[in-house]
Amino acid sequence: MKTITFNKYQGTGNDFIIIDNRKAVFNPGDSVLVSRLCDRRLGIGADGLILIEEADGFDFRMTYFNSDGFEGSMCGNGGRCAAHFAFREGIAGKKLIFTAVDGSHEASEEDDSITLQMNDVKDTGLINGNYFINTGSPHYIVFSENVAGLDVYSEGRRLRWSENLPPGGANINFVEVKDNHIFVRTFERGVEDETLSCGTGVTASAIASVLAGHFDSNSVNIVTKGGNLNVEFIIEDKGITNIRLTGPATFVFKGEIEI
């Protein structure tokens, strides 16, 4: 047994365990341990676990694990929280660049918000009449009314492996268009449940809302159960570029645990 230090973070209710692993104190291959630490009854409790690791040419590498214990695809809110951790711990200045499973990302801090540069989206399309957009993680966007009243767990589980989706399925986003924003609820794969917010999910939902003609602005405000976010982007012939996800990233507490 050994004791490690961890930090608990949340970004609009999407919560993470962050561990500074630049000295290899944590075994990233131990999926059972990752799952146990993320367990809300038997561990610390989180939607996912993030390792901050050394990476040549970058301020750090972000390695993200879903609460099922296995390495996941890109996590937008996790990226914003990882950037805040790096700023707070002095790993980087107020602007940084890190690498993740989908490539490099720039991030900056202003007031109480973290802005994360997302990777360009080259392909968007319709599957079974709903938008499918990969923003570092695959997202299936369902426009609906009364999203607040939906059984997101049941509907998300039903749609997560829908016919014609890629191998591995997708995250499911239920989107309600309001006068000046969209309201988004997300069922996340790997967590296999609704999360209070999903950064790559609101990014995909914002892009879909403009492509579908609901807004004529390339800056979309998003409301989630965990808080508010903004997504800005540019639509070009070659795809969606200059995508920026902005919102709060909050340090919750620091602790130690035996593993």
What confidence tens digit (pLDDT) does each residue in 152-185 have? 999 999 999 999 999 999 999 999 999 999 999 9
Looking at residue 12, its pLDDT comes to: 98
CB atoms within 10 A of CB 110: 9
The token pair that represents 23 in the structure block: 């000295």
Looking at residue 59, its pLDDT comes to: 98
DSSP, collapsed to helix, strand or coil, labels residue 53 as strand
Looking at residue 111, its pLDDT comes to: 87
Beta partners for residue 175, in sequence order: 143, 184
| Residue written as token pair 């967590």 | 191
pLDDT tens readout for residues 105-156: 999 999 889 999 999 999 899 999 999 999 999 999 999 999 999 999 999 9
| 124-247 maps to CATH 3.10.310.10 | yes
Domains 3-110+249-258 and 124-247 share a fold: yes
Query: What is the residue extent of each domain of the chain?
Result: 3-110+249-258, 124-247
Superfamily of domain 3-110+249-258: Diaminopimelate Epimerase; Chain A, domain 1 (3.10.310.10)
**The pTM is what?**
0.96
If one compares 208 and 112, the residue with the highest pLDDT of the two is 208
DSSP, collapsed to helix, strand or coil, labels residue 94 as coil
Q: What pLDDT band is residue 84 in, cutting at 50, 70 and 90?
A: very high
CA–CA distance, 184 with 181 (Å, rounded to integer) = 10
Q: What positions carry a catalytic annotation?
A: 75, 198
